[in-house]
Structure formats: C-alpha cells, structure tokens
Amino acid sequence: MSTIVALLFTGYLSVALLLTLPPLWAALLIMPAGRTADRLVRRWSRFILRLSLCRLRVSGIEHLATSLPAVLVSNHRSYVDAIVLMAAIPAEFHFVAYHGVLTWPVVGTAIRKAGHLTVDRSDRAARLACARAMTETLRHGGSLLVFPEGMMTGPSNDLLPFRLGAFRTAVEAGRPVVPITLEGTGIMLPVDGRLLRPSPLDVTIHAPIAPIARNRAEMGRLRRQARLEMTSALPRTHEPANMPQNVRRATHSRSRESTTT
C-alpha cells in the first residue's frame, strides 16, 4: 500500500512541477537578477508545498527578529530542503551552493538570478573567493544559509561532522549563528529514492549563538553549540562531532553531494 501511495503522490507532484516549473523558468530568464527574482522563487516554493498537501510546521521564527543578519545553519536531509527552507523562513537569505547545481535546469537559473553564492570546494582559489563573498554579504546586511554537513544524510537522524567555514564566517563578520533543524524532508524525498512520499515537515529555528571572540577556538565553540542545538530537536543520539573521516565515509557511503556547502 505504501508503494501505491508513493506512486500516486509522485505522479501528482510530477504533474504539478511540469505545470509550474516552465513558467517559473521563463519568468526568471527575462527578469533582472536581484530581490524580485528571489521573491518569485520563494513564492513558488510556498505554492508547491501547499500543492503537496504536506503539513509544514515552523517554530522559533521569533529568534530571527533580533538576530539578522546571521549565518543560518541547517541539517541536510534531501533535495527538497532548499524548497522547504525558502517556504518556511520569512527573512531573506543567500544560500551557499555547491557550484555543480549551476548546470541544473531551472535551479541554476534561480541561483544566479536570486543572488545566491556558489563554491567549488576542489578549487582553493574559488573557496577563498566564496569565503570573502560570504563575509562581505554579512557585513552589508545580508544573511547566509549553509548546510555545514556538506552532504545529504537522507532520513537518518545522524548528523555528519560539521565543516568549519560557516562558523569562521560568523566569527570574522561578528554575526550570530542561527541553528535550524529540518525533519521530514528525508522521508518526502530520500537521497537514494526515486519516489516522493507524503510526510509532515518540521522546521525548528533555534536561538542565535553570538560570537564572543575572534579566534579559531571561538569558531569551534560555535560549531559545537550549533550541533548541540540542532541535535536537541531530533529524536535520537547522533554521532560525535569528532568522528574520524574514514568512519564517516563508511557510515554514510550512500550519502550524496550536497546542493549547498
């Protein structure tokens, strides 16, 4: 029965996407880059989630009122995470995306036109340029959204070790980190799945964590505290933040490259 439900749900949403993505893409192609394009993508995200009939519950929005601009950091479950976050978070922010998504139809256009950042982690010069752009974005009043795990974990509640970049940027710019916990997206579209499944979606926005120093130790403190906050909204114990890389790869060999980093 669950497979039948998944097939019906996948067919229904596929039709919805086929009907809404071409007009979105066409509008983005003729639209100037900037805030208007970003708002259009956000409206589409909210619309497609309403069509999905999946219940979206957001808690902790009040934490954004006094913390922005900030570095928002979220766990990463699925390819639909970005859609859910754009629909759930009322504040404007810039994703820091894996550069490969620029080649994806619609997605690449949306990223360029909405002003999101991209980075090629294999290129040191590109990493440094992105780090500078992230810091400048914060200093000019823009917020960032980063998936610090660097790849998707699917429906598992285990968190991968966090990369340091987002927390380094927060310290260098003197802006807070706002942890976010996502639940349900890994069930709606598993990393290795071909079928969509209806699932409740929960977004928990935690209290901001402000940097109190400008050194590497403070970057580590922000990373540890953000992980603890995100873990607190998940139902079971997670892997330690200092898990060796070889163990991480063995445990998550089926994970996929993240759309954001």
Q: Which domains does the chain have, with CATH numbers?
A: 2-251 (3.40.1130.10)
Residue 73, phi-psi category: left (phi > 0), alpha (psi -120 to 50), beta (remainder): beta
Structural tokens at position 30? 């003729």
Determine the length of the chain: 261
Q: What is the pLDDT along the chain (261 residues), one digit of tens a residue?
A: 488 999 999 999 999 999 999 999 999 999 999 999 999 999 999 999 999 999 999 999 999 988 899 999 999 999 999 999 999 999 999 999 888 899 998 999 999 999 999 998 888 999 999 999 999 999 999 999 999 998 888 666 789 999 999 999 999 999 999 999 999 999 999 888 889 999 999 999 999 999 999 999 999 999 999 999 999 998 764 444 444 444 344 334 434 444 445
Q: Give, rounded to a whole angstrom, the gap between the first and last alpha carbons of the chain.
A: 37
Tokens 């970049």 sit at which residue? 165
Asked if 53 contacts 8 with a C-beta cutoff of 8 angstroms, the reply is: no
- Alpha helix stretches (DSSP H) within the chain: 2-30, 35-52, 81-88, 107-114, 124-139, 165-173, 185-188, 216-232, 245-251
d(CA 146, CA 97): 8
pLDDT of residue 249: 41
